């Protein structure tokens, strides 16, 4: 991951160019109904990248990912394990425009947006990627399946550590914090992520 270090001073400019290119993108039909392109928020120099599904109504209105109820819950849960989502993470989505009625993005829409995501990953160069929900797993890895079976299991992809978790919107519908509940399991997963980040930060 050190290969990108010489380019770090140019990172803000490169990300600004990426955002401008996304703003002009018309690769799929989602561009026709969007209010704003939703590219990212957070710290592009963070070791952690959080990838969700796609913008919802509030994200489309504000132009930032994970700012609605789901995002607020995600922020609180990350904070509970010592991770500030704006300081310690770079947050983005599989698709940059809101699918109508918050439906799942289609395979064609995800494929059309994939080059933007690939550029973000290359530029930010995270050591750990948190995949929020089954669509994020499918969009990045091409793996379809229930998130219940995928969550909590570390995967390695292109030299990075990936952790799938339940999407915060699912946790809003399943509010129990009892041992074994989705919210409790997600807290365990996030503690595991925090430990992995600490390992990556530790001197060799």
Strand ranges in the chain using DSSP code E only, listed in sequence order: 41-42, 48-52, 89-93, 128-132, 155-157, 160-165
Q: What pLDDT is stored for residue 203 in this prediction?
A: 78
Domain ranges within the chain, ordered by starting residue: 11-201
- Closest residue by Cα to residue 53 from 165, 150, 152: 165
What phi, psi does 91 have (nearest 5°)? Answer: -110, 130
- Closest residue by Cα to residue 30 from 138, 103, 133, 116: 103
- 100-124: buried (b, 16+ CB within 10 Å) or exposed (e) per residue? eeeebbeeebbebbeebbebbbebb
Q: Select the CATH number that applies to the domain covering 11-201 from these four: 3.30.1110.20, 3.40.470.10, 3.40.50.300, 3.40.50.620.
A: 3.40.470.10
Angle, vertex CA 23, rays to CA 163 and CA 139, nearest 5 = 25
Q: Taking the complete model, does pTM exceed 0.85, yes or no?
A: yes
Token pair, residue 144, equals 């379809």
Q: What pLDDT is stored for residue 202 in this prediction?
A: 83
Q: Are 197 and 48 in contact (CB under 8 A)?
A: yes
CA distance 81 to 88: 12
Q: What pLDDT is stored for residue 145 in this prediction?
A: 85
Note down pLDDT in tens along the chain; length 204 residues.
Answer: 444 444 455 899 999 999 999 999 999 999 999 999 999 999 999 999 999 999 999 999 999 999 999 999 999 999 999 999 999 999 999 999 999 999 999 999 999 999 999 999 999 999 999 999 999 999 999 999 889 999 999 999 999 999 999 999 999 999 899 999 999 999 999 999 999 999 998 876
- Distance between the two ends of the chain, CA-based, in angstroms? 15
Q: What pLDDT is stored for residue 31 in this prediction?
A: 95
Q: What pLDDT is stored for residue 53 in this prediction?
A: 97
Q: What pLDDT is stored for residue 155 in this prediction?
A: 97
């Amino acid at each position: 991951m050190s290969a990108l270090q010489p380019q770090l001073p140019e990172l803000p400019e490169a990300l600004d160019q990426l955002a401008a290119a996304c703003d002009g993108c018309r690769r799929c039909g989602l561009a026709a109904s969007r209010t704003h392109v939703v590219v990212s928020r957070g710290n592009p120099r963070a070791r952690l990248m959080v990838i969700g599904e796609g913008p919802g109504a509030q994200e489309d209105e504000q132009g930032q990912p994970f700012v609605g109820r789901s995002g607020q819950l995600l922020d609180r849960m990350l904070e509970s394990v010592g991770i500030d989502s704006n300081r310690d993470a770079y947050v983005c989505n599989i698709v940059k425009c809101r699918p109508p009625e918050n439906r799942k993005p289609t395979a064609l829409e995800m494929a059309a947006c994939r080059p933007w995501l690939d550029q973000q990953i290359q530029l930010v160069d995270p050591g750990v990627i948190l995949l929020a929900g089954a669509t994020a797993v499918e969009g990045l890895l091409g793996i379809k399946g229930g998130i219940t079976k995928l969550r909590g299991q570390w995967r390695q992809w292109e030299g990075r550590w990936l952790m799938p978790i339940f999407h915060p919107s699912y946790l809003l519908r399943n509010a129990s914090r009892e041992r074994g509940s989705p919210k409790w399991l997600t807290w365990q997963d996030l503690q595991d992520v925090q430990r992995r980040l600490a390992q990556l930060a530790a001197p060799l």
